[in-house]
Structure 1
Amino acid sequence: MASTTSPLLLLLAAVAVAMLVVAPVSSADLPSGFASITSKIPNPWSAFQNLTGCHFGEQQQGLAKVKDYLSHFGYLPESSGFNDIFDADLEEAIKVYQRNFGLDVTGVMDASTVAQMMAPRCGVADIINGTSTMGGGAGASSSHVHGRNLFTYFPGSPAWPRSKKSLTYAITQTSLTSIDRATLSQVFARAFARWSAATTLNFTETASAKDADITIGFYAGDHGDGEAFDGPLGTLAHAFSPTNGRFHLDAAEAWVATGDVSRASSDVAVDLESVAVHEIGHLLGLGHSAEPSAIMYPTITSRTRKVDLAEDDVAGIQNLYGGNPNFKGVAPPATSSRDMDSAAGASSRPWSALVSAVAVAAGLAVVAL
């Protein structure tokens, strides 16, 4: 029996499709890491999108790389060779990952999980030796309260000696970056100052790496510390716990050290000061936080500036070193649309509108046929 097509449905379908074609969503409105999909420069983890919907019991090419990713960040034990089978260990690792990032705990490579995995991020693991998980400074919990004591420390809570209030740092490796030395000094001075404002610590740049407590440098690929970099928009940087003092940045990133990074011409531009503030937190002993507004949250969107300590960061660092009596408190939350992507739930994400629009357009088109 032939069906008649409603003119209204055809009109609605046409409008929905036209909205996607004529007014495409900006890369800034997509989840962390999705900016790289619209860029000519691929994200090292962009192939994960081919595994969207993959679940327990399946075997798909590329799952070995997902396992390697989860192993690198502490969710799976290290292995000499992962396979492409979606086994029980992978399912459980994904559930822990989803719980840490505030996603629906499904154990499936759903769209939001894939998007989060593709986000540019810090190279420091979320789970170290199976003990230091994101989720709570006073004892991690799978049912943590949003925004309250979600900071963590490295295993054993290493810190600089309480008697050592003044730390020195040296910028030691700059040959792989085009940013001039004076600008680098200004950026790192501001980044360190954000932590000293809240604590009893003071930081001073020195020209001698030999005399420095902390060394900072730009490196590419395998640079001898066991934590190889992977090119643009993958692992941005990493730093080691106290009192190691090493802070390394991936020289392949499109670092922005001056001006408004949100107006950068490149979709893969990364704000240097934002990453520096995060890595200094590691140098001082902080692990990752499950609070999306925190500096110590593991991921950051390209073309985003995020440099102000959140209450979670301040609580964590002051618990280690004490508070600065002159500290004026945490700055009001930023309102920029390019702030760190919140992992509090799909309904709060700006890119959920895109998913809804696609679903509506597809649904109307089917009904109209």
Structure 2
Amino acid sequence: MHFLKTLIGTQKGTTSKGISQLKEYLSHLGYMNHKSSTTLTQQTDDFFDDDLELAVKNYQTFFNLAVNGIMDANTIAQMSLPRCGVSDSFNLNRSHELYLRIPTLASHYIFFPGEPKWPPTKRSLTYSFPSGEQTDVNSSILHATQIWASVSPFTFSYTPNYDQADIKISFQYRDHGDGNSFDGPGGILAHAFAPSDGRLHFDGDERWVDGVTPGAFDLQTVGLHELGHVLGLGHTNDTGAVMYPDIGDDLRKDLGQDDINGIKALYQF
């Protein structure tokens, strides 16, 4: 996320190094449609155009920032925070204009497009880790599954059979073949896929701990967040919810009421 440092004050009509990376970042998070630039298109891509202004405004709306379409200090500070790599928003119409679901006062939770969910016959989910990883992370993930089980119709159990598990949890590095590359320390911490894919990936370059430690990330908190995606929840802009996309270090977080309301609404129980 070093490219953000060069973008302070940029707005529609300006050209600046790093704008092409900003477009790729906001496209990855679902705020715009943008293809990765080549050397030949780099100069054009570093132009702050109408589509980027709209994407920045929608990003600012989601995170309750001043909506001005400008890469001001608060917007850059928000973008610099460690976070989940799953998109915040998904729906783009044919004119490429993004339509966020604007939360009501009663609810902020969002589902994946089409509201995918585990079938009614699948309420007991197994999870596993590749050989050699479970010793370090099993306790954190066990507690995260127990928390979700306490507020949902699901039960979770560990299986040593990684290939046959419903939820496959692993540590991955940089480009690991799923179209969602990690970026080294900081930035994107983890991601997971909607039901019933079951893949949940932590960035292996991060410092992971079980608990609250300065400069490190709590596996239980991030695992709780990513399991929410595995069950079908998207991101919320309720800062008190575990499904809020930004995840700080030195922090342990539990489910918020918005998370509970979301899982109940998705599975109708």
What is the TM-score of this pair, normalised by structure 2?
0.91
Map of 2:203 onto structure 1: 250
The residue type equivalent to 1:281 in the other structure is G
Map of 2:76 onto structure 1: 114
Q: d(CA) in 1 for partners of 2:91 and 2:132?
A: 32
The residue type equivalent to 2:266 in the other structure is L
Map of 1:96 onto structure 2: 58
Q: Does 1:123 align with 2:85?
A: yes
Q: d(CA) in 2 for partners of 1:115 and 1:173?
A: 38
Map of 2:48 onto structure 1: 86
1:322 CA drift (Å): 4.4
Q: How does 1:35-114 map to 2 (within 5 A)?
A: 45-81=1-37, 83-114=45-76
SS in structure 2 of the partner of residue 169 of structure 1: strand
Contact preservation (8 Å) 1:73, 1:126: yes
Q: d(CA) in 2 for partners of 1:49 and 1:129?
A: 29
Residue-by-residue CA offset, 1:172-203 (whole Å, 9 max, x unaligned): 2656xxxxx33411110100111110011100
SS in structure 2 of the partner of residue 215 of structure 1: strand
1:284 to 231, 238, 243: 231
The residue type equivalent to 1:228 in the other structure is S
Q: d(CA) in 1 for partners of 2:235 and 2:132?
A: 27
Q: d(CA) in 2 for partners of 1:96 and 1:219?
A: 30
The residue type equivalent to 1:186 in the other structure is S
1:194 to 147, 166, 188: 147
Q: How does 1:199-210 map to 2 (within 5 A)?
A: 199-210=152-163
Structure 2, unmatched stretches of 5+, are none
The residue type equivalent to 1:171 in the other structure is F
SS in structure 1 of the partner of residue 148 of structure 2: helix
Aligned sequence identity (%): 43
Q: d(CA) in 2 for partners of 1:173 and 1:109?
A: 44
Residue-by-residue CA offset, 1:4-54 (whole Å, 9 max, x unaligned): xxxxxxxxxxxxxxxxxxxxxxxxxxxxxxxxxxxxxxxxx1331221111
1:226 to 173, 176, 179: 179
Report which of the two structures shows the higher radius of gyration computed on alpha carbons: 1
C-alpha RMSD of the superposition:
1.8
Q: d(CA) in 1 for partners of 2:207 and 2:128?
A: 22
Residue-by-residue CA offset, 1:77-99 (whole Å, 9 max, x unaligned): 13141611111111111000000
SS in structure 2 of the partner of residue 290 of structure 1: coil
The residue type equivalent to 1:297 in the other structure is Y
Contact preservation (8 Å) 1:134, 1:150: no
Map of 1:320 onto structure 2: 266
Contact preservation (8 Å) 2:175, 2:181: yes
Q: d(CA) in 1 for partners of 2:248 and 2:27?
A: 22
Residue-by-residue CA offset, 1:320-351 (whole Å, 9 max, x unaligned): 2344xxxxxxxxxxxxxxxxxxxxxxxxxxxx
1:270 CA drift (Å): 1.1
Contact preservation (8 Å) 1:173, 1:217: no
Judging changes above 3 Å, is the alpha-carbon distance between structure 1 residues 294 and 114 closer, same or farther for their aligned structure 2 residues?
Answer: same
Contact preservation (8 Å) 1:219, 1:249: yes
2:123 to 132, 147, 165: 165
Looking at both structures, which has the greater relative contact order when contacts are Cα pairs under 8 Å and sequence separation is at least 6? 1
